[in-house]
Copies of this chain bind each other. A is one copy, B any other.
Amino acid sequence: MTKQRDPAKLKQKLLDLAKELPFFKLIGYEVVDFGPGWSTTQIRFRPELANPNGTVHGGVIASLIDAGTTHAMLTTDQFQMVRDTKGIMTTVDLRVKYLRPLDEGVMTCETKIPHIGKRISHAQSVVTNEAGKAIAIGDATLMIIAGKG
């Protein structure tokens, strides 16, 4: 049986967790907002995240999309089932198409989960620069496996 849950409390707990996670601090990942099936997340460019040519490293953008995808899943009913049954959610694959370089300002990642299935869900992300131009698009395939509770 599913316990009663307070969505606002769960959200606050997840936001606090994101603020404290050492990897997110390391790369400057921040959650702007999120809900069931969507998230807005950001990383501010700093020279420590750059390639030798001064533009942001592709791995930073991949990290932003990967983390943003997880945040878009965390308050879905599907993920609640994972919590309730002690199941697991895994990223089957992650893909990034790089469109433009970026060497200043904030990258903003908008993620949606347009296809949520019982087992497999498909996420789509667009990362934009401060001028609103897309610098990358990404997609991820996620698998949910129910546990025994």
Contacts of A122 in B (CB 8 A): 97, 99, 137
Bound state CA distance, A91 and B143, in angstroms? 14
B contact residues around A58 at 8 Å (CB): 62-63, 66, 91, 94
The answer to the question of A47 belonging to the interface, with a C-beta cut-off of 8 Å to chain B, is yes
Bits for A101-118, please: 1 = Cβ < 8 Å to B, else 0: 000000000000011010
Q: Say whether A52 faces chain B, with CB atoms less than 8 Å apart.
A: yes
Interface string of A51-65 (1 = CB under 8 A from B): 110000111101110
CA distance A51 to B48 in the complex (A): 21
Q: Which residues of B contact A67 (CB under 8 A)?
A: 57, 59
Nearest B-chain residue to A118, judged by Cβ:
B145
Assembled-state Cα–Cα distance A139/B97 (Å): 11
Other contacts beyond A26-B27, A59-B63, A93-B141: 20, CB < 8 A:
A23-B50, A58-B63, A58-B91, A59-B60, A59-B67, A60-B63, A62-B63, A62-B94, A62-B96, A63-B63, A90-B98, A92-B141, A93-B93, A94-B96, A95-B95, A95-B96, A97-B115, A99-B117, A120-B143, A141-B141
**6 pairs from A and B in contact (CB 8 Å cutoff):** A22-B47, A22-B50, A26-B26, A27-B59, A95-B95, A99-B115
